[in-house]
Amino acid sequence: MPSLQSRVLALDDDAKFLENLGFALRDSFELIPAHTVEVAMQKLAANQVDAVILDYHLGLENGHSVLDQMRDFGHSQPVIVVSGVVNLGMTVGFLKRRVFGFLEKPVSLSELHSLLVEAISSTGSIDHAELGYSVDANTRQVMVNGVVVNLTPTEYEILSYFLRHRKRQVLREDLSAHLWGENKVSKNAFDTHLLNLKKKLPPFADRLISIYGVGYCYEV
């Protein structure tokens, strides 16, 4: 769990959203607001920041270019993207850039709080004997018995989602919405990605239970 001193930088050009966010999260996090990319980069350089909340539409810039700038300057904090519109191009771009999660506005504050807790707690390496594999959340590297398992960005995102929802029922439509938003994709797209993940990571496949007509439960 993050401490009360965990600092979260929020970059959004909506001043009212930032004000409400700071008020809603005040008991758990110190929110550092930024209305522009320039201000955000300055505050990242001047403060120890544990996680970043990033809007996608930022005037002439977008979240992809901002995240690239952050990484170029060595800022490796987990990033949670919020946006009023989630589309396929945006989602794929952020998956390639390895963001921690996506939320669509209007944001569920309870879900955002949970994501921030998970993001800050996950920095570093996850290595549970019961999983049968290890996950480095910083590099998004998965290993089995010391051997790297090469996952695609979508496969890793599916694995990460199940890890965050262990021992809970995961609805198929919720996971699909997390991956692609409201975009229409092939009906078999999710099945193909999940099948490939299970083939590459047998310890994961062994503990994933299918709930007919509903979804899945990762029993670890």
- Distance between start and end Cα atoms, the chain: 20
Q: What's the pLDDT at 126?
A: 57
Using alpha carbons only, give the angle 16, 27, 41 rounded to the nearest 5 degrees: 55
The chain-wide mean pLDDT, for the chain, equals: 85
Q: What's the pLDDT at 111?
A: 86
Instruction: Please state the rounded mean pLDDT for residues 4-15.
Output: 85
Domain chopping of the chain, boundaries: 7-122, 125-218
Angstrom distance (rounded) from CA 61 to CA 37: 8
Q: Coil, strand or helix: which one is 172?
A: helix
Q: What's the pLDDT at 10?
A: 96
Q: What's the pLDDT at 3?
A: 44
CA nearest to 75, candidates 32, 46, 35: 46
* Contact yes or no for 96/155 (Cβ under 8 A): no
pLDDT tens column, 141-156: 899 988 999 999 899 9
Instruction: Answer whether residue 199 shows pLDDT above 90.
Output: yes
pLDDT tens column, 155-195: 998 998 888 787 788 888 888 888 887 777 777 888 899 99
In CATH, the number for domain 125-218 is 1.10.10.10
Whole-model pTM: value is 0.59
Cα→Cα distances 70→22, 64, 97, Å: 22, 10, 11
pLDDT above 70: percentage of residues in the chain: 93
Residue 127's pLDDT band (cuts 50, 70, 90)? low
pLDDT tens column, 12-31: 989 999 999 999 998 889 99
Q: Which CATH architecture group holds 7-122?
A: 3-Layer(aba) Sandwich (3.40)
Higher pLDDT, 88 or 51: 51
